[in-house]
Homo-oligomer: A and B are copies of this chain.
Amino acid sequence: MRYFILGFLNQRPMSGYDIKQFLEQFSWLIGSPSFGSLYPALHALLEEGLVSVDITARADKPLRKIYSITNAGRAALHEWLGQLTLSDAPLKSFVMCLILAENLSPAGLATYLHHRRDQVADHLTGLSQTVGTTDDALDLGQRLALDYGLAIATAELSWLDSTLAGLAG
């Protein structure tokens, strides 16, 4: 989360509210953190010198605290991104890192997406086997969930393939 916030602020200076607003867009996919975790995280980053604040009291508007990343913050972010493994991470972790793509090198991004592609492909074959072998022993919920997983994995795989093709070309 700390680094997730840091990655946002590396794109452009934002307030805590802005970050929440942006993430709200993806709430149906990955959820959105509460202010109760967002604000304390910003305070912690500030104390560690990884971000700085600019308190802007705009006329006729409530005060806003615009946070910017510092050099120390950038260093910490890139160190974190460097040692990022992401082995078998859930969809949520994948999307969170995807949003931070701007902070990765083109080669790093490609590697990351390839890695994910392989993982999803593995899970797809695993799911297909489960569906194929134990077809009638499954209850409704398991059948639906398996079927849903299959649909989503297929969609993600084709997205990864076309995105990788687009980035390469």
Contacts from A to B (Cβ < 8 Å): 7, 11, 25-31, 88-92, 95, 98-103, 119-120, 123, 126-127, 130, 139-142, 144-149, 151-156, 158-159, 163
Residues of B within 8 A of A7 (CB): 141
Q: Are B144 and A163 in contact, CB atoms less than 8 angstroms apart?
A: yes
Max chain B Cβ within 10 angstroms of own Cβ: one of A31, A90, A91, A153: A91
Q: Are B151 and A28 in contact, CB atoms less than 8 angstroms apart?
A: no
The number of times this chain is found in the oligomer is: 2
Contact among B26, B27, B159 for A151, CB-based, below 8 A: B159
Q: Decide: A28 near B91, CB < 8 A? Known: A98-B145, A155-B152.
A: yes
Residues of B within 8 A of A90 (CB): 27-31, 92
- Name 22 interchain pairs, CB-CB below 8 A, sorted by A: A7-B141, A11-B139, A25-B127, A26-B145, A26-B149, A27-B88, A27-B90, A28-B88, A28-B119, A28-B153, A29-B91, A29-B152, A98-B145, A98-B148, A99-B142, A101-B144, A102-B140, A102-B142, A151-B159, A152-B156, A152-B159, A154-B155
